Amino acid sequence: MSTVRRSNLRGIAFMVFAVGTFSMMDAALKLLTPHYPPMQIAALRGLTALPLVFAWVGFAGGYRQLLRVRWPLHFGRGLLSILMLASFAYALKRMPLAEAYAVFFVAPLMITLLSVPFLGEKVGRAHWFAIAIGFIGVLVVLRPSGDGMMSTAGLMVLVSAVCYALSSISVRLLARTDSTSSMMFWMIAMLSIGATAIAWPDWKPLQREHWHILLALAITGSIGQYAITEAFRRGQAAVIAPFEYSALAWGVAIDWLLWQTLPDGYTLLGAGIIIASGVYLVRREAVHAAAEHP
């Protein structure tokens, strides 16, 4: 077995593990949604991870790197993270994990779309076609005919996906000058501070029976972040990225185990359309990159 193939297989294993871990983190968020406001849940996501991320920064290169950063982009990314998590937490209270993931899968398509105005990248005709097909898949999931999921919860998942896409664009800009450690730390720190400040007037005391969920939130979020970093470090992005869509399988399994719910046919059909268009974009990008830089 070649070295590249072996590295890709390890990267795939890390990606599947990372997606599963993040799915468990989202399940923990969903378990908290009946008891706390969405903005407080976003704050708890940041506060539980902040000590672990702070310790990791010290281990991964020291704290001086936290001061040599591009502050405007970090502030913008922090605001996007607050809105992304609060809107996703709002949606999770009202819809199953698998259905939320099916809509959120549109985020990679949005990244390609937003790379044109923000990064000046060129998007070919085939890319536009794949993006259009992906958005048709979103409409299949949401079913705007009136008897489907075209609800506030579904729209909030779309808001969360847009914020995620914009945050990913900002990461591409920040990566030119700032370290990975600084990007991770300041996102979590600003999420913690900003969401806590907004949620404080309606802050509800933490219940003792939820401490194990908060501990799971901290552990799964931190391990997932490490695993997804290792996935892209070890394997080729074009090979690794499509396995992020395994979140749908994790979501279906967790929905069934915890809430005894399963997605309907429309959700699975729409998710399949979105996943197919996303995988096509990733693979086509890889072919173009190989042609330009053999």
pLDDT value of position 79: 96
15 pLDDT more than 90 = no
Please, are residues 228 and 20 in contact by the beta-carbon 8 Å criterion? no
Average pLDDT, the chain: 86
20-58 per-position pLDDT tens digit = 999 999 999 999 999 999 999 999 999 998 998 899 888
Which amino acid, 279? V
Q: What is the pLDDT of residues 204-235, one digit of tens each?
A: 999 999 999 999 999 998 888 788 878 877 77
For range 92-111, the mean pLDDT? 90
C-alpha distances (whole Å) from 2 to each of 8, 235, 294 are 10, 13, 18
Residue located via tokens 């937490």: 89
Q: Which pTM value belongs to this model?
A: 0.86
Q: What is the mean pLDDT of residues 227-254?
A: 82
